[in-house]
Amino acid sequence: MIVIVTRYGLGILLALAVLGKARHFAAFQSSLAPFGLHGRIAQVGAFTVVTVEALAALTAFAPVGDVVVGVIATILGASFTAAQTYLLTVGDQAPCLCFGRRERASMRTWARAALVLLMGLTLWSVAA
C-alpha cells in the first residue's frame, strides 16, 4: 500500500510542479540566474528541467517497475535538493518557482525538494 500511495503521490506532486513551471515559464527561466544560467542557456535549462520533470511524472503512472520510478525520482530529488542546498548555503534568497508561485529559497522549498528525494528512495528500497 505504501508503494502505491508514494508512487502516485509522487506523480501528482511532479505534475503540479510541471504545470506551475509551464504556466510561468519565463519567470522560471529567469529564476535560474543564481545558477549562472542566462539567455539562451537559461531557456534550454528551463526547458530541460520541465521536460525531465514531466517525463518523471508520467513514469510514475506508467506500467514500469517501482524500482525504475524510484531511481528516477531519487536522481531528480537529489538534484533539486542540491540546488536548494546551494542557494541556502550561499545565502542567496533567490526566488523559487517550483510550483509556479514566486517564493524565496527557504527551508520550506528545501523540504519539498527533499520530499521528492525521500519518495524516490522509498520506492527504490521497498521495491528492490
Residues 94, 104: contact at Cβ < 8 Å? yes
Domain that holds residue 6: 2-127
DSSP conformation class of 37: -
The per-residue pLDDT for range 56-114, each reduced to its tens digit, is 999 999 999 999 999 999 999 999 899 888 888 887 667 667 766 777 888 888 898 99
Number of independent structural domains in the chain: 1
In this prediction, residue 35 carries a pLDDT of: 80
pLDDT-derived band at 128, boundaries 50, 70, 90: low
Mean of the pLDDT values across residues 12-32? 90
Q: Can you read off the three cell numbers belonging to residue 13?
A: 506532486
Per-residue confidence (pLDDT) for residue 84, from 0 to 100: 87
- Taking the model in full, what pTM does it have? 0.85
Phi first, then psi: give them for residue 80, nearest 5 degrees. Answer: -65, -40
pLDDT in tens, 23-69: 989 988 988 888 888 999 999 999 999 999 999 999 999 999 999 99
What percent of the chain has a predicted confidence (pLDDT) above 90?
Answer: 56
Residue with cell 520541465: 50
Q: Which three-class secondary structure state does DSSP give residue 77?
A: helix
Q: Which of 26, 42, 34 is nearest to 109 (CA)?
A: 34
